[in-house]
Amino acid sequence: MATETQSTATDRTFAQRLDAWLDEDMSIRRAMAVYAIIGVFMLFLLLPVAYMILATFTSAEFLYSPRLIPALSDLTLANYQAILSTGLFQQYFVNSMVIATATTLLTLTVGTLAGYSLSRFEYPGRQGILFTFLGTQMLPLVLILIPFFLLMFSLNLVDSYVGIIIAHSVGGIPLGTWLLKGYFDDIPESLDEAAKMDGCNHLDILARIIVPLSLPGIAVAGFYTFILSWNDFLLVSILSQTAATRTLPFGLQLFQSQNTVAWELLLTAATVTMVPVVLLFALVQRWVVEGLASGGMKGA
Amino acid sequence: MATSTDARTGLARYGHEFKTFLSETWLGYALILPAVLLMGVIIIYPTFRGIQLAFFEASLLNPGQMTFVGLENFAEMLSDATFKSALWHTVLLTAVAVTLQYLLGLALALVLKEKVPGASVFRSLSMITWVLPVIVMVIIFRFMLQSGFGPVNIVMAKLGLETAAWFGRPGVAFPLVVLMHVWRNVPFYAIALMAAMKSIPETQYEAARLDGAGPLERFRYITLPQISYVSMIMIVLHVIFTFNNFDIVFLSTGGGPLGNTEVMATYIYKTAFQQYALGYGASMGVVMLLIMMAFTVVYVKLEARD
Indicate the residue type of A39.
G
Please tell me what DSSP assigns to residue A136: G
Q: B157 at the A interface (CB within 8 A)?
A: yes
Closest by Cβ to B139, choosing from A170, A252, A281: A252
- For residues B181, B182, B185, B187, the Cα torsion angle rounded to the nearest 10 degrees is -160
Query: Which residues are CB-contacts of B105 (< 8 A; sequence separation ≥ 6)?
Result: B185, B186, B187, B188, B189, B190, B192, B193, B234
Backbone φ, ψ for residue A86 (5° rounding):
-80, 125
Question: What is the pLDDT at residue A4?
Answer: 44
Q: Residues of A with CB below 8 A from B136's CB?
A: 252, 270-271, 273-274
Q: Which residues pair with B134 in a beta bridge?
A: none
Q: Using CA atoms, how far apart are residues B30 and A199, in angstroms rounded to an integer?
A: 21
Question: What is the pLDDT at residue A291?
Answer: 66
Of the candidates A174, A288, A168, A148, which has an alpha carbon nearest to the alpha carbon of residue A228? A168
Residue B244 has a CB neighbour count (10 Å cut-off) of 23
Which residue would you say has higher pLDDT here, B109 or A294? B109
Q: Using CA atoms, how far apart are residues B190 and B102, in angstroms rounded to an integer?
A: 8
Asked if the model's pLDDT at residue B2 lies above 50, the reply is no
Question: What is the pLDDT at residue A230?
Answer: 95
Mean predicted lDDT score pLDDT of chain B: 87
Cross-chain Cβ contact A142/B272 below 8 Å = yes
Q: Residues of B with CB below 8 A from A45's CB?
A: 125-126, 128-129, 183, 186-187
Average the pLDDT over each of B145-149, B257-261, B269-273 and give the range with the smallest value. B145-149
Q: What angle do CA B238, B243, B246 make, to 5 degrees?
A: 105
Banded pLDDT at B1 (limits 50, 70, 90): very low
ipTM of the assembly?
A: 0.86
Backbone φ, ψ for residue B55 (5° rounding):
-100, 10
Q: Using CA atoms, how far apart are residues B271 and A49, in angstroms rounded to an integer?
A: 34
**For A115, which residue in chain B has the nearest alpha carbon?**
B32
Which residue would you say has higher pLDDT here, B149 or A41? A41
Q: B146 at the A interface (CB within 8 A)?
A: yes
Write b or e for each residue in B267-276: b if 16 or more Cβ atoms lie within 10 A of its Cβ, otherwise e.
bbbbbbbeee
Q: B142 at the A interface (CB within 8 A)?
A: yes
Predicted confidence (pLDDT) per residue in B49-68, tens digit: 889 988 988 887 777 788 88
Q: Using CA atoms, how far apart are residues B229 and B209, in angstroms rounded to an integer?
A: 24
- For residues B124, B126, B128, B129, the Cα torsion angle rounded to the nearest 10 degrees is -160
Predicted confidence (pLDDT) per residue in B157-199, tens digit: 888 888 888 888 888 999 999 999 999 999 999 988 988 888 8
Closest by Cβ to A273, choosing from B45, B125, B136: B136
Task: State the DSSP H helix or E strand holding residue B127, giving kind and residue range, or none if neither.
Answer: none
Contact B130, B192 (CB under 8 A): no
Residue among A24, A45, A177 with most chain B CBs within 10 A, to mutate: A45
Contact B47, A143 (CB under 8 A): yes
Indicate the residue type of B173.
A
Q: B36 at the A interface (CB within 8 A)?
A: yes
Q: Using CA atoms, how far apart are residues A277 and A272, in angstroms rounded to an integer?
A: 10
Question: What is the pLDDT at residue A114?
Answer: 94
Residue B193 has a CB neighbour count (10 Å cut-off) of 25
Alpha-carbon distance values, A50 to A263, B91, B120 (Å): 15, 32, 19
Q: Using CA atoms, how far apart are residues B77 and B55, in angstroms rounded to an integer?
A: 13
Cross-chain Cβ contact A233/B32 below 8 Å = no
Query: Which residues are CB-contacts of A283 (< 8 A; sequence separation ≥ 6)?
Result: A219
Concatenated DSSP letters of A274-299: HHHHHHHHHHHHHHHHHHHHTTTTS-
Contact A201, A160 (CB under 8 A): no
Q: Using CA atoms, how far apart are residues A212 and A207, in angstroms rounded to an integer?
A: 7
Domain with CATH 1.10.3720.10 in chain A: 86-293
Question: What is the pLDDT at residue A25?
Answer: 64
**For A33, which residue in chain B has the nearest alpha carbon?**
B111
Q: Show the low-confidence residues of chain A (pLDDT under 70).
A: 1-11, 21, 23-26, 290-300
- The CA distance from B266 to the nearest CA of chain A, in Å, is 8
Mean pLDDT for the stretch of residues B120-149: 90
- The CA distance from B84 to the nearest CA of chain A, in Å, is 17
Q: What angle do CA A121, A122, A125 make, to 5 degrees?
A: 115
Superfamily covering domain A86-293? MetI-like (1.10.3720.10)
Concatenated DSSP letters of A171-202: HHHHHHHHHHHHHHHTS-HHHHHHHHHTT--H
Question: What is the pLDDT at residue A90?
Answer: 94
Cross-chain Cβ contact B126/A64 below 8 Å = no
Q: Residues of B with CB below 8 A from A18's CB?
A: 216
Predicted confidence (pLDDT) per residue in B207-239, tens digit: 888 888 888 888 888 899 888 888 888 898 899
Question: What is the pLDDT at residue B69?
Answer: 86
Predicted confidence (pLDDT) per residue in A79-113, tens digit: 999 899 888 999 999 999 999 999 999 999 999 99
Q: Which residues pair with B58 in a beta bridge?
A: B66
Write b or e for each residue in B1-15: b if 16 or more Cβ atoms lie within 10 A of its Cβ, otherwise e.
eeeeeeeeeeeeeee
Cross-chain Cβ contact B216/A288 below 8 Å = no
Q: A243 at the B interface (CB within 8 A)?
A: no
User: End-to-end CA distance of chain A, in Å?
Assistant: 63
The domain spans of chain B are 2-44, 72-305
Asked if the model's pLDDT at residue B4 lies above 80, the reply is no
Residue among A139, A164, A239, A281 with most chain B CBs within 10 A, to mutate: A139
- The answer to whether the Cα torsion of A232, A113, A138, B188 is positive or negative is positive
Closest by Cβ to A143, choosing from B28, B126, B286: B286
Give alpha helix (H) positions in chain B. Answer: 2-39, 45-53, 72-78, 81-112, 119-126, 128-131, 134-144, 151-158, 170-198, 202-210, 215-218, 224-226, 228-244, 247-252, 264-273, 278-305
Q: Using CA atoms, how far apart are residues B58 and B61, in angstroms rounded to an integer?
A: 9
Question: What is the pLDDT at residue B147?
Answer: 83
Q: Using CA atoms, how far apart are residues B124 and A174, in angstroms rounded to an integer?
A: 25
Q: Using CA atoms, how far apart are residues A225 and A101, in angstroms rounded to an integer?
A: 9
Concatenated DSSP letters of A262-273: -HHHHHHHHHHH
Mean pLDDT for the stretch of residues B27-44: 90
Cross-chain Cβ contact A52/B216 below 8 Å = no
Q: pTM for this structure?
A: 0.87
Cross-chain Cβ contact B149/A249 below 8 Å = no
Residue among B135, B149, B238 with most chain A CBs within 10 A, to mutate: B135
Q: B34 at the A interface (CB within 8 A)?
A: yes
**For B158, which residue in chain A has the nearest alpha carbon?**
A66
Q: Using CA atoms, how far apart are residues B275 and B73, in angstroms rounded to an integer?
A: 15
Superfamily covering domain B72-305? MetI-like (1.10.3720.10)
Q: Using CA atoms, how far apart are residues A251 and A69, in angstroms rounded to an integer?
A: 29
**For B205, which residue in chain A has the nearest alpha carbon?**
A23
Q: Using CA atoms, how far apart are residues A149 and A167, in angstroms rounded to an integer?
A: 10
Q: Which residues pair with B67 in a beta bridge?
A: B57
Q: Using CA atoms, how far apart are residues B111 and B90, in angstroms rounded to an integer?
A: 31
Name the A residues in 52-71 with CB < 8 Å from any B CB: 52, 55, 63-68
- The answer to whether the Cα torsion of B135, B138, B143, B148 is positive or negative is negative
Cross-chain Cβ contact B195/A51 below 8 Å = no
Question: What is the pLDDT at residue A26?
Answer: 62
Cross-chain Cβ contact A67/B154 below 8 Å = yes
Cross-chain Cβ contact A277/B123 below 8 Å = no
